């Protein structure tokens, strides 16, 4: 098994491309869905399976990592982007279907359950850092690297203002998700939001 420094995990459309760029800005060679000298940022590496995008056939089981970083953003934003863009990809859906049971769910519920279940897989791996890409990630990652990697000469970087790998699509409101989601699954989503301090969604209108 080959050893690398960083493994960044998230759900599709959660910011893995952004996280790879952020690490590169700090001087680490981390690829997006491609293995570089210092590691990889890939939602597919949450499981031991061959990648179906970018570096085809690349598999988590062939590598060990010093640090695991979980990236996340507003869960409703991830669900919205998944609903409109990611779940239209048969490759992506078929990959996740091997690990998430979508049977009997409508399109909204599929997006919600995918996010919830994929993060369960990641959380069980006890990530060393949970990086909120919509909550000052540049500063959070800087302090993590200074403390744990102790990289000589590491300096803060400017806030990345440009959106990375963004795709245009409409927005889903939380009320729309609630109307099209089973009560138990929606309750789990609200708990998940609160777990990561996205409390604004506690009382949808």
Q: Nearest to residue 160, comparing CAs of 11, 34, 17? A: 17
The mean per-residue pLDDT over the stretch 178-205 comes to 84
Count up the domains in the chain and report the number: 1
Q: Domain range for residue 159? A: 2-201
Q: Distance (Å, rounded) from C-alpha 104 to C-alpha 110?
A: 9
Burial of 43 (0-12, 13-18, 19+ CB in 10 A): buried
Using pLDDT thresholds of 50, 70 and 90, give the confidence band for residue 202. Answer: very low
Tokens 């085809």 belong to which residue?
A: 56
Residue 169 has pLDDT above 90, yes or no: no
Residue 164 has pLDDT above 70, yes or no: no
What is the DSSP code string of 70-129?
EEE--HHHHHHHHHHTGGG-HHHHHHHHTTS--TT--HHHHHHHHHHHHHHHHHTT--SE
Give this prediction's pTM.
Answer: 0.92
Measured CA to CA in angstroms, residue 156 lies from 22, 71, 118, 151 at distances of 11, 19, 31, 12
3-state secondary structure of 186: helix
Q: Distance (Å, rounded) from C-alpha 4 to C-alpha 36?
A: 8
How do residues 7-49 score in pLDDT, each as one tens digit? 999 999 999 999 999 999 999 999 999 999 999 999 999 999 9
pLDDT at 199: 75
Q: What is the CATH number of the domain that holds 111?
A: 3.40.50
CA angle 24, 146, 195 (to 5 degrees): 85
DSSP state of 2: E
């Amino acid at each position: 098994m080959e050893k690398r420094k960083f493994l960044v995990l998230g759900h599709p459309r959660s910011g893995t491309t952004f996280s790879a760029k952020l690490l590169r800005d700090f001087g680490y060679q981390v690829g997006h869905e491609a293995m570089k000298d210092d590691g990889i940022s890939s939602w597919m590496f949450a499981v031991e399976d061959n990648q179906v995008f970018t570096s085809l056939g690349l598999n988590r089981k062939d590598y060990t990592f010093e640090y695991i970083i979980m990236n996340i953003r507003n869960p409703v934003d991830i669900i919205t982007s998944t609903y409109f863009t990611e779940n239209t990809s048969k490759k992506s859906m078929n990959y996740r279907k091997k690990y998430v049971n979508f049977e009997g769910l409508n399109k909204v519920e599929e997006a919600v359950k995918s996010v919830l279940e994929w993060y369960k897989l990641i959380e069980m791996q006890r990530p060393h850092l949970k990086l909120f890409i919509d909550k000052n990630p540049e500063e959070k990652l800087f302090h993590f690297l200074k403390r744990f990697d102790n990289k000589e000469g590491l300096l803060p970087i400017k806030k990345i203002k440009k959106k990375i790998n963004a795709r245009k699509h409409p927005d889903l409101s939380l009320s729309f998700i609630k109307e099209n989601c089973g009560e138990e699954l929606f309750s789990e989503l609200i708990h998940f939001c609160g777990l990561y301090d996205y409390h604004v969604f506690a009382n949808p209108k």
